[in-house]
Amino acid sequence: MKKYLFSIVMMMTMTTVMAQVLDKMQWFNEPEKWEIKDGTLTMDVTPHSDFWRISHYGFTVDDGPVLYTIRGGEFEVKVKISGDYVTRFDQAGLMLRIDKENYIKAGIEYVDGKYNLSAVVTHHTSDWSVITLDNPVPSVWIKAVRRLDAVEIFYSFDDKTYVMMRNCWLQDNTPVMVGMMAACPDGEGFKACFEHFQIKHLPDQHRLEWLEKNK
């Protein structure tokens, strides 16, 4: 009985902490309708919004909604994502952003009736990589780990087994906007949901190496 009560208290505490974390975050391109409740963010994604820069399509857009915080060092961030995807390119995921020319977005994207694990890496120009899923999934976990000048991106369907989907460069020792993004390039919007957002500080790798050499 004590263990059961302890578990309930811990769950309530974690929910409160996550709600407080989300409440302290800021909007970039705030959508017209959104809500934070019990540590969960839901938003009506802005119609005809996206993040992309120059390559392949020849245009630049930077108007999707992002709820973010700022981190200056190394970190691990993850979130559970679901959405009512209906139109080509409907997407939701994590965003790591230095500025309009340097950012990473990774999550799930709906393309031609298929669910895709998607990553866009932008350094002046954007690239796009996808892993097409055989069947629709109710939700997906996306995790990003920033270490030195690299970001590793993982996906999971149960928050236990994570598989790497991308390893990419991002300038180190530079503050980064970290948060939850969504976009609806072709459609009139959809509802996206983000649960269990967590961001964890990681000690600086260079400093750890220095300490090891100077014991």
List pLDDT tens digits, range 179-191: 999 999 999 999 9
Q: How far apart are CA 212 and CA 215, in angstroms?
A: 6
Q: First-to-last CA distance in the chain?
A: 47
Res. 21 pLDDT band, cuts 50 70 90: confident
Is the predicted pLDDT of residue 98 greater than 70, yes or no? yes
Q: Is the dihedral of CA 83, 167, 125, 99 positive or negative?
A: positive
- 8 or 160, greater pLDDT: 160
Alpha helices in 24-62 (DSSP H): none
Q: Per-residue pLDDT averaged across 120-129, rounded?
A: 98
Q: Which pLDDT score, from 0 to 100, does residue 101 have?
A: 98
Q: Which pLDDT score, from 0 to 100, does residue 13 have?
A: 43
Residue type, 211: L
Q: Per-residue pLDDT averaged across 67-75, rounded?
A: 97
Res. 92 pLDDT band, cuts 50 70 90: very high
| Nearby residues of 141 by Cβ (< 8 Å), 6 or more positions away | 78, 79, 80, 81, 155, 156, 157, 158, 159, 162
Q: Per-residue pLDDT averaged across 56-76, rounded?
A: 97
Q: Which of 110, 108, 167, 181 is nearest to 141 (CA)?
A: 108
Q: Which pLDDT score, from 0 to 100, does residue 3 have?
A: 56
Class level of CATH domain 2-203: mainly beta
Q: Per-residue pLDDT averaged across 57-69, rounded?
A: 97
**Percent share of the chain, pLDDT over 90:** 89
For residue 124, the SS3 value is coil
Q: How far apart are CA 94 and CA 91, in angstroms?
A: 10
Q: Which pLDDT score, from 0 to 100, does residue 18 have?
A: 56
Strand ranges (DSSP E) for 100-190?
A: 102-111, 114-123, 125-132, 140-147, 150-156, 163-169, 176-183
Please indicate, yes or no, whether the overall pTM of this predicted structure exceeds 0.85: yes
Q: Which of 190, 183, 194, 99 is nearest to 142 (CA)?
A: 194
Is the predicted pLDDT of residue 12 greater than 60, yes or no? no
